[in-house]
Structures are given as C-alpha cells and as structure tokens.
C-alpha cells in the first residue's frame, strides 16, 4: 500500500504522539508577519504564556486536529459544541504544560542525547509514542518491522510530508523524555518518614467511641438574630483565601424559555416512524432505504449483542430474518429495524494477504488471472509468505509474509469482510475491492457468536415549527420589556424562572451544569455589569436571555461580590455565638455529658468506630473540628463547646480502640509515598502556573 497509504491509515496514531510537538513548532515559529500592524497582530493572539505568543490561526489548527481525533474516537458523526470545547481546553492545557515546564527544564540544563533518542526509537524499550504510532490496529501489538520500514522509506522516498511527520514525532518523543526526567527529579525529592507512616496508620485504624450533644444552627430562626456588616467582614477576613479566583469570572442571571418537543411533536414523530415501518416492509433495497430515511446513518453490517441501543438489542437477536421490530424510543429518537440476515460466525480471524495492483498488472482481469495463478501455486505447496514477499504491493505487510494480524468485524469493506468471516481455517479467497485484487488466506478463526445484519431507521423527536415559534415569541416578548431593574419581575410575569450562575469561567459551556451556548458566555465576558443581552441565545431545546450581574476579577474576590454566597455561613457564625454561650453554660460544673444533656433537655448520642481519616459523624455531616477534638481528649471527660459545620457540639470519649502494630512499615511507606508524589506534582505545577505570566484571550475566539 506504500508510504502514503501508511500515512493515511496511521494518521490518528501519529497525530496523538505529534500533537504536542506541532504546538511547540508554531510557538517557536515567527508569529510576527512582516508588514502586519501591531494592533492586528494582537487581535489574532489567543494568549501569551511566559512571553510565548499564541497565534489564533496556528492554535485553531491544533484545535481542529484534536476535535477531529475526538470525533473519530466517538465513532464519527457531527462535531458537537462539547467536543469543540474539550478540544480547545486540551490544546490550551498542553500549551500551558509545555511552556511552563520548558522554562524549568532549561533552567536546570536537562537534555536528551542523540544516542538516548535513538534508543527511545529503535531500542529494546521504545517510547510509548513510538509504540502507539506503530502498533497493529487489529492486535494492538507493537510492529517493529513496520517502524523500520517506515524509517527506511522516509530516508529514501523524498516524501516531504512523511519526513515532516517523522520529525514531529521525534520531537514529541524527546519532549516526553525531558518531561519524564524533570518529573523524576521532583518525585525523588518526596519522601515519607517512619513517623509519618505510623501516624497515617493510626489515623486510619485507631477507633474512637464517643457520645455527643448537638445544638443545631437550624434551631435558631433567622429572625431571632441580627447580622451586621461587621459580621460579614469578619467572616470574609477569616476565609479570604477561599475566595481567590485563579482567573476572572462572571455572575450571570438568566431565564430559560423551554422549546422541547410537545406531546403534539412526539405524536408526529410516532406517525412518521410508523409510516416508514410500513414502507420498509416492502422496500426493494433495505440498506438504501435505511440510508435515505434515517437521521443517523447506521452501518449496514453484522453486529453482535451489545452493539445496538438497549431496546433494539433485546429484540433483534431473537427475531427471525425478514421481521421488522419497533418503534422503540432511545435517547430522544424512535427506532425501527428490519432483520435482514442472521448468522453464527467467528468474532475475529487471523489472516494473511497478497495485494495486487490492477493498474500495474494491466487491468482488473489480468490482476484476477494472476491471482488465480498464485492460488494455483499455493495449491501445489508454495509458501504463502514467500509469494507475499515476491508479489504483494502492500509494503507494510509483505515484510511479515503478508500477515494482517487478527481482524475483527466492522473495520473492512463489506466484500472483504464477507470473504473473511464466511470462510473456515485454511481457505484461500480471491477478492476484488477498492484496494485492488487480494489473495486472502484464513490462518485461524477465533470464537463463535450470533450476528445480525439489520437495516435500522431512526427519527429524532424534535420540536415542530409551532413549538419553536411559540417559544421564540415568548423569548422575544421578554427581551422587549426586560431591564436591569425588572429582569426577574418580567420573567415571572411570563411564567419564567430566573437563576443566577456564579463564578462562570470564560471557557465554560454550561450554566449551573446546564447547556449554554458559547455565544452567551462570550457576550458575558464582553459586557458590563448590569447589561442585558441584546439578543436571544439558542440551544437545541431552549432560548436563553441573560443579565450580567457581576464581574469577579482574578485574585481575591471583593466582599460585595460574594456577599450573597456567604450569607448562610455568616448567619451560622452569629448563631454559633448564641449557641456556644448556651452550651458553655450547660458545661459549667458538669462532670459528664449526661449531666450537660439534662441541663439542655437532650440525650447524648453514641457513635462508634470513628476514625480520624474519615471525620464523618453518622447522620450529621463531616465534622473535622469535632472528630479532631475527640482524638485529643482523655476518656470520660466532657469537652468544651466545639463550633462545627452543623452546629455547636460537646463530646465525651468512652474509649479508644488501638490497632495492632503496622504489619509492614515499608509497604505502608510505599503506599503513602505514591499518594504523596501524585499530590506533590499537582501542587508543584499549580505553583508554577500561579507564578507564570499568562494572558488568556480564548474567549474572544471560541
């Protein structure tokens, strides 16, 4: 199949390994074009990381490649906004890591020698990227011969595209090695002492049995307390670091007009699919009918149980050929299927082939005649591998005697798949396909499963024109009357509910977990506080109108911006003062928790087998301060009042149950070290990122 065929077939594998290097290449390239005005260059800048300017055109190329890879991994279909968003984020994250680590690696002088790079490519243990790029797609096994053949062709063919991809892959291998060296240096700086290991073991295995009394914050009504600005300020000052924005955020108030399908729309979809069911029964060409009439173009191929939607999957494998099943509803679509053929066959086949090029042989008929001659030689005892080396034009497989490895269904043209999976071990078939003329030998058939070929037709349940027009009219009516002052009131008049999403990031594509158009987020990051959107934003099933409530800058968020968010917590701190006085009064002069309970009119609650590593009081909440206090107490003595998350507590330890000695101290240290190393790397990179000079303009473009 040659070098270009290899590139086409392996593009996804090479892309995965080389993507990071392509990004580096454009960063190191000259992004300042001669004669371009300064303002124009800045307009096309996605961002800047430690002085490295990121040009939109180059960045977008990487996004498109990554999005395409996502699409392939998801089985094809259309590129969704979510896929695009994930692609943008992945490319940006790769750039962040690349540029931030590049500076650190250069500082300490790490490098990869020529011999080291050669060993990573052709040595006994090649780089993961090399293994991934040159693995047999059917078996998943690394094919060293394929690698060596490719290198030889790159060096001799003069193919510029192949040479460029190879250089990109080598650069990616080198970069991966440098990052690995840097990571190893950091990992080797992390250690665990015997004292730490023993302390960790105690936290996870020492048990506490204790009683507690709780004065719940909910027992004090809000109208019984007075919250002042000073209370807000005190809480804010104490927890200021919790209100730090890593990047600028927005608070957006929004109203959603529902445009989902109505009962009328659902009935119309059912009528349509039932009509198609009748027509499918008499269709002259089942696969063509399905292709023309189905919203999703399902492959017309043999499938096994588990590969269809649950409803179809539960029926078609028990239905006789010629029957039509459905309609069934699945993920917003109605499905029908005509069972065309059933068979029991192998799950996979090991095969070899000899590929002939009809053009080189002087036409298809001459190629078929030559294939018959080769088949005759095989019948006389000639070795298939010898003839493959002599006659095959598939350079990737001929070096292995024509071996194709293990093949599975659904990966080949129908004519080849039928020949392979309808044969038995030892059979030799001649097949004509778009690749040429092939002599295929079945080396081994593996497994035996029931397969069904079905013509599947589905219709999405979508909102009709009337539904969409009504929803759009309602949204426009709201847009006409809404102002910054009456946004919520006017929404309520139209039966709409307003919600405020806080701390929305520039690259988010949701509001409170619900789908939101990127155009809405982009508007919010270009608007001023108090602005109302001058348009209706659309999703697949709704129309959204928005108001920009607040802008929270990068860094410590001002008190006014988070005042509403901390309202409950501040009220609880005020309530805590009242309840603490009440608890301390009851504790005064008491020698047991039972006596404290009598004063409060409460019965102490007993809990058992609590560990410090999991400070949860059953039926209450996670109470770090309370459980931490427990493990610092002497048994049979009541504690002081403790301010918890749920209320004010008093506790008394009944007993501790100490664990046996650590069975294996070294194993304990290894487990802690693994966890500590993972956390350390994340913390170190976060620190490097905080220190880096980063300008992120992605919201202007995506």
Structure confidence by residue, pLDDT tens digits, 553-580? 888 989 988 898 899 999 999 999 999 9
Fold category of 207-239+566-657 in CATH: Chitinase A; domain 3 (3.10.50)
- Residue-level pLDDT at 370: 93
Cα distances (Å, whole numbers) of residue 475 to 258, 494, 535, 583, 636: 9, 9, 9, 54, 66
Predicted TM-score of the model (pTM): 0.66
- Residue-level pLDDT at 137: 66
- The string of DSSP letters for 370-385 reads HHHHHHHHHHTT--HH
Residues 445, 216: Cα–Cα separation, whole Å: 69
Residue 486: helix, strand or coil by DSSP?
coil
DSSP at 53: E
- Find out whether 324 and 277 touch, Cβ atoms under 8 Å: yes
- Residue-level pLDDT at 139: 64
Q: Describe the chain by its helix, strand, coil percentages, rounded to 5.
A: 50, 20, 30
Q: What is the 3-state secondary structure (H, E, C) of 617-675?
A: ECCCEECHHHHHHHCCCCCCCECCCEECCCEEEEEEEEEEECCCCCCCHHHHHHHHHHH
- Residue-level pLDDT at 262: 95
Quickly count: other Cβ atoms within 10 Å of residue 346's Cβ. Answer: 23
Cα distances (Å, whole numbers) of residue 508 to 249, 456, 535: 10, 36, 20
Sign of CA dihedral 223, 225, 227, 231: negative
| Domain range 348-446, its CATH number among 3.40.50.2020, 3.10.50.40, 3.40.50.970, 3.30.1330.20 | 3.10.50.40
Nearest to 672 by CA among 195, 251, 313, 306: 195
- Residue-level pLDDT at 25: 39
For residue 337, the surrounding DSSP H or E stretch is strand 333-345
- Find out whether 647 and 579 touch, Cβ atoms under 8 Å: yes
Mean pLDDT by 10 residues, the chain (702 residues): 40 40 39 36 82 92 85 68 86 90 90 92 90 76 84 81 85 90 88 93 96 96 95 95 90 95 95 95 92 87 88 92 93 93 89 92 92 92 91 85 86 85 90 91 90 93 94 94 93 93 91 89 94 92 94 90 92 96 96 96 96 95 96 96 97 96 91 88 88 91 90
Kindly report the backbone phi and psi dihedral angles of residue 552, in degrees, each rounded to the nearest multiple of 5, phi listed first: -105, 115
Fold category of 246-260+465-559 in CATH: Chitinase A; domain 3 (3.10.50)
Quickly count: other Cβ atoms within 10 Å of residue 427's Cβ. Answer: 14
- Find out whether 216 and 646 touch, Cβ atoms under 8 Å: yes
- Find out whether 374 and 439 touch, Cβ atoms under 8 Å: yes
Residues 265, 462: Cα–Cα separation, whole Å: 7
Architecture of domain 263-345+456-460: Roll (3.10)
Q: Tell me the residue length of the chain.
A: 702
Nearest to 551 by CA among 514, 492, 590, 504: 504
Nearest to 245 by CA among 567, 47, 48, 505: 505
Largest CA distance in the chain: 108
């Amino acid at each position: 199949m040659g070098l270009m065929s290899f590139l086409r077939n392996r593009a996804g594998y090479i892309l995965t390994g080389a993507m990071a290097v392509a990004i580096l290449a454009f960063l190191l390239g000259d992004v300042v074009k001669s004669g371009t005005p300064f303002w124009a260059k800045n307009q096309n800048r996605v961002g800047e990381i430690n002085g490295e300017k990121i040009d939109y055109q180059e960045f977008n190329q990487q996004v498109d490649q990554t999005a395409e890879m996502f699409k392939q991994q998801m089985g094809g279909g259309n590129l969704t906004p979510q896929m695009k968003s994930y692609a943008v984020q992945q490319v940006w994250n790769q750039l962040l890591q690349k540029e931030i680590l590049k500076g650190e690696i250069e500082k300490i002088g790490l490098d990869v020698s020529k011999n080291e790079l050669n060993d990573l490519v052709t040595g006994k243990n090649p780089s993961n990227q090399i293994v991934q790029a040159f693995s047999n797609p059917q078996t998943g096994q690394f094919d060293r011969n394929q690698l060596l053949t490719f290198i030889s062709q790159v060096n001799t063919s003069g193919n510029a595209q192949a040479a460029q991809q190879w250089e990109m892959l080598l650069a990616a291998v080198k970069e991966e090695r440098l990052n690995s060296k840097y990571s190893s240096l950091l990992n080797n700086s992390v250690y665990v002492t015997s004292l730490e290991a023993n302390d960790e073991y105690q936290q996870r295995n020492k048990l506490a049995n204790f009683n507690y009394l709780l004065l719940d914050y909910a027992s004090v009504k809000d109208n019984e307390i007075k919250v002042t600005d000073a209370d807000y300020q005190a809480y804010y000052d104490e927890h200021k670091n919790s209100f730090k924005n890593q990047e600028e955020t927005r608070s957006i108030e929004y109203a959603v007009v529902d445009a989902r399908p109505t009962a009328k729309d659902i009935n119309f979809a059912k009528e349509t699919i039932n009509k198609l069911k009748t027509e499918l029964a008499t269709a002259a060409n089942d696969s063509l009918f399905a292709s023309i009439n189905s919203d999703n173009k399902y492959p017309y191929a043999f499938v096994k149980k588990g590969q269809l939607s649950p409803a179809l999957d539960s029926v078609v494998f028990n239905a006789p050929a010629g029957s039509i099943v459905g309609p069934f509803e699945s993920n917003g679509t109605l499905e029908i299927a005509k069972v065309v053929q059933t068979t029991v066959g192998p799950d996979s086949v090991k095969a070899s082939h000899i590929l002939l090029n009809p053009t080189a042989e002087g036409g298809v008929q001459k190629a078929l005649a030559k294939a018959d001659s080769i088949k005759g030689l095989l019948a006389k005892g000639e070795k298939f591998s010898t003839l493959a080396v002599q006659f095959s034009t598939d350079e990737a497989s001929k070096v292995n005697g024509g071996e194709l490895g293990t093949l599975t269904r659904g990966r080949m043209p129908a004519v080849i798949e039928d020949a392979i999976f309808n044969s038995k071990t030892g059979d030799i078939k001649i097949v004509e396909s778009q690749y040429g003329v092939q002599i295929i030998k079945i080396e081994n058939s593996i497994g035996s499963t029931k397969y069904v070929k079905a013509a599947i037709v589905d219709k999405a349940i979508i909102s009709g024109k009337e539904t969409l027009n009504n929803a759009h009219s309602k949204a426009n009516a709201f847009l006409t009357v809404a102002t910054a002052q009456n946004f919520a009131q006017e929404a309520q008049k139209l039966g709409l509910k307003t919600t405020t999403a806080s701390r929305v990031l520039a690259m988010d594509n949701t509001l409170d977990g619900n789908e939101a158009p990127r155009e809405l987020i982009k508007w919010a990051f270009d608007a001023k506080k108090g602005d109302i959107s001058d348009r209706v934003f659309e999703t697949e099933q709704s129309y959204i109108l928005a108001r920009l409530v607040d802008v929270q800058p990068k860094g410590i968020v001002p008190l006014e911006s988070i005042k509403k968010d901390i309202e409950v917590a501040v009220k609880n701190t005020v309530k805590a003062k009242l309840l603490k006085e009440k608890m301390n009064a009851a504790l005064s002069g008491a020698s047991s928790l039972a006596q404290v309970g009598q004063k409060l009119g409460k019965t102490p609650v007993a809990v058992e087998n609590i560990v410090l590593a999991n400070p949860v009081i059953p039926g209450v909440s996670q109470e770090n301060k309370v459980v931490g206090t427990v493990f610092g107490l002497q048994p049979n003595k009541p504690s002081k009042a403790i301010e918890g998350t749920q209320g004010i507590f008093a506790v008394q330890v009944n007993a501790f149950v100490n664990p046996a000695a650590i069975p294996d101290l070294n194993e304990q240290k290894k487990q802690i070290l693994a966890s500590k190393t993972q956390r350390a790397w994340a913390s170190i990179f976060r620190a490097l990122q905080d220190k880096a000079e980063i300008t992120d303009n992605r919201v202007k473009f995506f």
